[in-house]
Chains A and B, each alone.
Chain A
Amino acid sequence: MTKPLEVKQESSISIRSGATKSYALQESAFVKWSLITISLVFLSLFLILPLVSIFVTALEKGWATYVASITNPDALAAIKLTLTVVLIVVPLNAIFGIVAAWAITKFSFKGKNVLITLIDLPFAVSPVIAGLVFILLFGAQGVFGDWLFQNDIKIVFALPGIVIATMFVTFPFVARELIPLMQMQGITEEEASISLGASGWKTFFLVTLPNIKWGLLYGLILCNARTIGEFGAVSVVSGHIRGMTNTMPLHIEILYNEYQFTSAFAVASLMSILAIITIIIKNIIEWKVKDV
């Protein structure tokens, strides 16, 4: 058949859209370097300097103190609690995010816009208010308070409350990441899969999931970062019980309020390391996505 023609088209396809320089946007060297300098100074002052100071303060009194602050039972409990919350919240939000994005992009139904707006709600509501809502619902004087008390179910001031509050705050991340991606990809590949005889589950695992995996991972990374760092909502529902319901950010706040700066900064440095790892993973994913 038309081999030469095809070869030509292939070569043109393989050119990736990399960083393209616009001739019209080429500025003079002076403008270019002053803009770069301003950004660098700003970044150093507001991001790098504080980050460095965290580590400096944390290690101020030596490595032994640093290790002791982290291995303190209360600190360990806080780390364990935070990781537990992450392990519960991130998978749940992954499922919720996929389900919501699937519903919104693959079906047409009435009230779709309402659902999209609802997904955005946690971004608009202050986390403190989100926490208070759950106190009003599940607290001792709350709507379900009596029933929960009679059935001996603890939500507020316990792990379930922290999980629920964190989920509320972080649930838009995955859905928000997936909706535009899935909208762009359309539904014809799924239709093709079904008409080839695949079941709904097989279609999801063999066609949909591979197509959205990088977007999903990106959303999960953001969700994970926020889950580790969430303060406001968790602070309201946790009850600040030392060694029990203190997550890492809450533990840091308590240490700080008790003037234990070195310990506070030691735990903070641990969180910073988690954050830095998250950013690195996020960048790797972005780089991968661009490559695909």
Chain B
Amino acid sequence: MSIHIQNVSKAFGSFQALEDISIDIESGELIALLGPSGSGKTTLLRILAGLEGLDEGAILFDGQNITNVSPKEREVGFVFQHYALFRHMTVFDNVAYGLKVRPRKTRPSKEEIKKKVTELLALVKLDNFADRYPSQLSGGQRQRVALARALAVEPKVLLLDEPFGALDAKVRKELRRWLRKLHNEFHVTSIFVTHDQEEALDVANRIIVMNNGKIEQVGTPEEVYEHPNSPFVYDFLGNVNLFRGRLHKGKLTQGEFEIDVPTYLDSHDDAVGYVRPHDIQIEKEQLNNESVAAKIVHIHMVGPIVQIELKREDVDEYLEAEIPKEHYKQLHIKNGDTVYIRPKQLRVFIPEDYSI
């Protein structure tokens, strides 16, 4: 089912939770709503489910305006952050609930319900836990019960609020993979909220980055990671090094560092250059004036990528670089060495009211 969010605004008292949000979601997409806490992502999800009202705007499911439709009519599967399982019901009854409460006319027979629930429990690999109570399950198991319960009503949209937030790292990774697989099988339009950029990049096929109740960027994981359109997105998705300098005649200068930025030929402003750690080139000699001297402070060498912390010698600032282990071996560098660093790719933003 396609979803159209049109100019939605929502305030809680004087706090503006959402400000003029518009998003179009195609049928069958797996969307991540990514943002820091307080960015409005959960509020948006709850508005989609009908658990929260909106002040302005409209929500369309398949072109139909459902803004004023009650949550019970929306056919939305909602997975709550802390699962919200019915604590007095067994796993089986939890999953069967959505079917059992249907009006008599549309309610499946007892056998049909049993068959459906058994199928779903097999899908979430909890067939042997049907008679347990939620308090007797681990976090990951509860999460899967919550998912099965939401899927039992065959929702047109699946909404997940921080689905992996409360789980430990290993279980989280497994459930992530599992959710993607599930989505590939069911093709139900799914939206999940997360504050974990890695999770969003890993699972979603489109990411909506939110901040302060506004949308910062919408795009595929690759787009938002490789081409962030704002300092916020740059900073929020992955580590970043800053070069705070001044633009002059198409060059960004800071200390002894100078780099060409042809897109800003006419600007004479303070500006910040953003460089990902893996876009920092380390050389032992100064090849041109785009590189600048820095001292190696710390080398972190676990896994195939070597992280190197450097301190610039011209200004009092630290940098972080990531290079492949092989390259690191060729360089023959150690703590305390002076090297020359050069950004391979740099994106310049002129700060307005934004500061890091």
Point out residues on A near B: beta carbons under 8 Å: 1-2, 5-6, 9-10, 13-14, 188-189, 191-199, 202, 206-207, 210-211
Q: Which residues from A are CB-within-8-Å of B136?
A: 10, 13-14
Q: Is the interface of A mostly helix, strand, loop or mixed?
A: helix
Are the CB atoms of B78 and A10 closer together than 8 Å?
Answer: no
Are the CB atoms of B88 and A210 closer together than 8 Å?
Answer: yes
Q: Which residues from A are CB-within-8-Å of B135?
A: 13
Q: Which of these, B75, B85, B137, B140, contacts A2 with CB under 8 Å?
A: B140
Q: Which 6 A-B pairs have the closest CB atoms?
A: A196-B98, A188-B84, A198-B101, A9-B138, A192-B84, A195-B78
Q: Which residues from A are CB-within-8-Å of B85?
A: 189, 192
Separation of A195 and B71 alpha carbons in the complex (Å): 5
Q: With an 8 A cutoff between CB atoms, is B275 at the interface?
A: no
Q: With an 8 A cutoff between CB atoms, is B72 at the interface?
A: yes
Q: Which residues from B are CB-within-8-Å of A202?
A: 101
Separation of A210 and B72 alpha carbons in the complex (Å): 21
Q: Which residues from A are CB-within-8-Å of B75?
A: 197
Q: Which residues from A are CB-within-8-Å of B149?
A: 192, 196
Are the CB atoms of B97 and A10 closer together than 8 Å?
Answer: no
Point out residues on B near A: beta carbons under 8 Å: 49-51, 70-78, 80, 82, 84-88, 97-98, 101-102, 125, 135-141, 149-150, 153, 170-171, 174
Separation of A182 and B207 alpha carbons in the complex (Å): 37
Are the CB atoms of A1 and B98 closer together than 8 Å?
Answer: no
Separation of A116 and B101 alpha carbons in the complex (Å): 33
Are the CB atoms of B50 and A195 closer together than 8 Å?
Answer: yes
CB distance from B175 to the nearest CB of A (A): 9
Separation of A9 and B132 alpha carbons in the complex (Å): 14
Q: Which of these, A191, A197, A211, contacts B102 with CB under 8 Å?
A: A197
Scoring B72, B125, B170, B174 by chain A CB atoms within 10 A of each residue's CB, the highest score goes to: B72
CB distance from A117 to the nearest CB of B (A): 22
Q: Which of these, A1, A5, A9, A189, contacts B86 with CB under 8 Å?
A: A189
Are the CB atoms of A195 and B76 closer together than 8 Å?
Answer: yes
Are the CB atoms of A195 and B97 closer together than 8 Å?
Answer: no
Are the CB atoms of A6 and B140 closer together than 8 Å?
Answer: yes
Are the CB atoms of B80 and A188 closer together than 8 Å?
Answer: yes
Q: Which residues from B are CB-within-8-Å of A10?
A: 136-138
Separation of A14 and B73 alpha carbons in the complex (Å): 38
Apart from A2-B140, A188-B84, 18 more pairs, CB < 8 Å: A1-B125, A6-B141, A10-B137, A13-B136, A189-B86, A191-B71, A192-B80, A193-B86, A193-B97, A194-B51, A195-B72, A195-B78, A196-B97, A196-B150, A197-B102, A198-B98, A206-B86, A211-B88
Q: Which of these, A14, A188, A194, A197, contacts B82 with CB under 8 Å?
A: A188
Are the CB atoms of A192 and B138 closer together than 8 Å?
Answer: no
Separation of A189 and B86 alpha carbons in the complex (Å): 6
18 pairs, CB–CB < 8 Å, chain A vs chain B: A1-B174, A2-B170, A2-B171, A2-B174, A5-B138, A5-B171, A10-B137, A188-B82, A189-B87, A191-B80, A195-B51, A196-B149, A196-B150, A197-B72, A197-B73, A198-B72, A198-B98, A206-B101
Which A-chain residue is minimally distant from B80 (CB atoms)? A188
Q: Which of these, A6, A13, A188, A194, contacts B71 with CB under 8 Å?
A: A194
Which A-chain residue is minimally distant from B94 (CB atoms)? A192
CB distance from A194 to the nearest CB of B (A): 5
Are the CB atoms of B72 and A192 closer together than 8 Å?
Answer: no
| Contact A197 B153, CB 8 Å, known A192-B80, A202-B101 | yes
Q: Which residues from B are CB-within-8-Å of A206?
A: 86, 97, 101
CB distance from B160 to the nearest CB of A (A): 12
Scoring A193, A197, A198, A210 by chain B CB atoms within 10 A of each residue's CB, the highest score goes to: A197
Q: Which residues from B are CB-within-8-Å of A189?
A: 84-87
Q: Which residues from B are CB-within-8-Å of A211?
A: 87-88
Separation of A192 and B49 alpha carbons in the complex (Å): 10
